[in-house]
Amino acid sequence: MKIFLLFFLFLLLQNPNPNFSLSPDGLSLLALKSAIDQSSDASAFSDWNENDSNPCHWSGISCMNITGFSDPRVVGVTVSGRNLRGYIPSELGSLIFLRRLNLHGNQLYGSIPDQLFNASSLHSIFLYGNNLSGTLPPSICHLPRLQNLDLSNNSLSGSLPSDLENCRQLQRLILAGNQFSGAIPFGIWPNLENLVQLDLSSNKFNGSIPSDLGELKSLSGTLNLSFNHFSGEIPKMLGKLPVTVSFDLRSNNLTGEIPQNGTFANQGPTAFLDNPSLCGFPLQKSCQDSSDESSAGNQAPVRDRENSSKKGLKPGLIILISVADAAGVALVGMIIVYVYWKRKDSNGCSCTGKTKLGGTEGGKTCSFCSCACLNAGNESEVESEKEGDRGEEGNLVAIDKGFSFELDELLRASAYVLGKSGLGIVYKVVLGNGIPVAVRRLGEGGGQRYKEFAAEIQAIGRVKHPNIVRLRAYYWAPDEKLLICDFISNGNLAFALHGRSGQTAGGNLSWSTRLKIAKGTARGLAYLHECSPRKFVHGDIKPTNILLDGEFHPYVSDFGLNRLISITGSDPSSSGGLIGGALPYVKSVQIERVNNYRAPEARVTGSRPTQKWDVYSFGIVLLEMLTGKSPESSASPSMTAMTSTSSSSSRAEVGDLVRWVRKGFEEEKPLSEMVDPMLLQEVQAKKEVLAVFHVALACTESDPEIRPRMKTVSDNLDRIGT
């Protein structure tokens, strides 16, 4: 209070004719303006005028009418991303109705003042991306409504206070990228029943991982404890966490075998990397190998004794051992032959595992983990080998034996141009039996690489899933390469969401239909990642590559085409060749836009595609279905209106759909300001929409290691609305 009086006296001396009309909240905010170095961006406070009656029209300030008070009171302070240098004044603690404090992305230094937590209405504190130091004040949990605390990427130090157990309303605790150290206290986590996100990564925590972290029943997304100094075994209790939780335990000193219970079954190997003494599935390091290495030094005397004892074996015993060895070898050989012929005779796929994917192969319901149906397409493989020597002559090869037609039938059929991209021109062709197919022209080159082309085609042809477009046949000739696929009748997701230029169709998808499309697409991508023979990376997920049938059943298309184009090595839009004379060539085509669905790391020249690229792109597609806005239109007026400040940094953020959505959640904007207006008609869908938003934001994390696997994304979506 003395500091506040001194500050008020300072203002009085600076202005001999003061205007006493400014409210007490306004005077407290002027302390923040004075705490910022004058060398910083002055425009951040250009309209913070002490002569105003209240601060409610100042940039970054939100107010609300409170019962019992004649003047509106300050409930939100947002001065973020301005690179401001200064400190956090204790006077902000006098804003007793302040709910949200957002000062992230500046250069604030010093400690977090204890007096700040006198603002008892605070429920969201965002101070990440500054230079704050000192310890985490124990009084932080004196805030009864605290829900969001993000202090990441500062220089805070000290231990984690056990008083955190009193933050019973806390939903997000993000302390990554600081200098915190010591052991994480036991006994506090069962009390945090509402905790949804926990990120303690990139600190100096040590000791063992508390087993009672497994009691965080509301946790979702990623439990991030990576880049610390944790030691000991991973507690089996973590397996009790919800199955939607992903682990990130990289770069610690953990030892022993990775547990296999509960949630551990859904984790990939990246969750446990850089722990040299960790072993077991899903790492490629057997715990038996580890024990063998540790005991290698003790085995030498034993081997010496065994060798010495063998020297004294009797001839009869040697013969008996030899006969037993021969019998064992014969038995193993019989088993191998039996398994070989069983697999050869099998007409369906061998599927084992637990998690049902929902697809069927050969009348069997295939499970998730072992559903690479390698026998599919074997007959066409044999056919390709027979045709290999005649690759120069031109061959129409059926991938699916039950789907065949003659080359002249394709030549006589009527063809309609569906579109063109960098992956070739696509035609709709109606065969003589009335069946429509989609034909994609790949180009003229690659005449000497038939076997390579055919091998790649066979890998694509083996992919059979109800949410993936089926490849039925292909045509090869030195001057023409064609792919024949199923024709999907109802356009693509981009048209369904936005319509085509000059047409009114599109934008009328109900929430249930959008959720159905999202679930089906996720299943198809998960199959490509986990179950396809090549563990395919699609590399180009976007709404135009998600096709829809008459019942809005989704089909993922165009996977594997980049590799085929590189083999042919020519312009897919070229028009020469035998088939080129039959199928119309279009010179005027729409220029393809820059791909705004690509992951940040995918935009680096020379980078290799990964499955996490697909996860990010799918997350953008989810955001587009939720908001009704494509990445290209993210600078629309409606998006601009949502930005609360007029700073250049805010304008830069508007151009990015991911940042726009994250900013909306950070500032607790109403859901009605972010979702497609069409979805507001379905009031009952609010919880489902929020759940899908969380899935999409997890997919679009900037760090690819933090993004979930596509299988986890699919599982999470399948639980929504069921």
Name the residues annotated as catalytic.
540
Cα 573 from Cα 165, distance rounded (Å): 64
Asked whether 469 and 547 are in contact (CB, 8 A), the reply is yes
Cα–Cα–Cα angle for 329, 331, 336, rounded to 5 degrees: 95
Cα 369 from Cα 229, distance rounded (Å): 33
Instruction: Note the helical H segments in 23-132.
Output: 24-35
Cα 6 from Cα 589, distance rounded (Å): 71
Question: How far is residue 120 from each of residues 94, 99, 142, 145, 625, measured CA to CA in Å?
Answer: 9, 8, 8, 8, 38
Q: How do the residues of the chain divide into helix, strand and coil, expressed in percent and rounded to 5?
A: 40, 15, 45
Cα 584 from Cα 154, distance rounded (Å): 61
Phi, psi of 192 (to 5 degrees): -90, 70
H or E element in which residue 660 lies: helix 657-666
Tell me the β-bridge partners of 548.
Answer: 554
Which residue in 475, 463, 553, 513 sits closest to 681, CA to CA? 513
Cα 611 from Cα 608, distance rounded (Å): 10
Asked whether 29 and 77 are in contact (CB, 8 A), the reply is yes
Asked whether 214 and 235 are in contact (CB, 8 A), the reply is yes
- Amino acid residing at 230: F
Asked whether 231 and 210 are in contact (CB, 8 A), the reply is no
Tokens matching residue 10: 């300072």
Q: From the centroid of its chain, how far is CA 568?
A: 32
Asked whether 625 and 496 are in contact (CB, 8 A), the reply is no
Give all strands of the β-sheet with 85-87 in edge-to-edge order: 85-87, 107-110, 131-132
How many DSSP H helices and E strands does the chain contain? 18, 28
Cα 691 from Cα 721, distance rounded (Å): 10
Which residue in 123, 187, 297, 285 sits closest to 667, CA to CA? 123
Instruction: Provide the 8-state DSSP code for 591.
Output: P
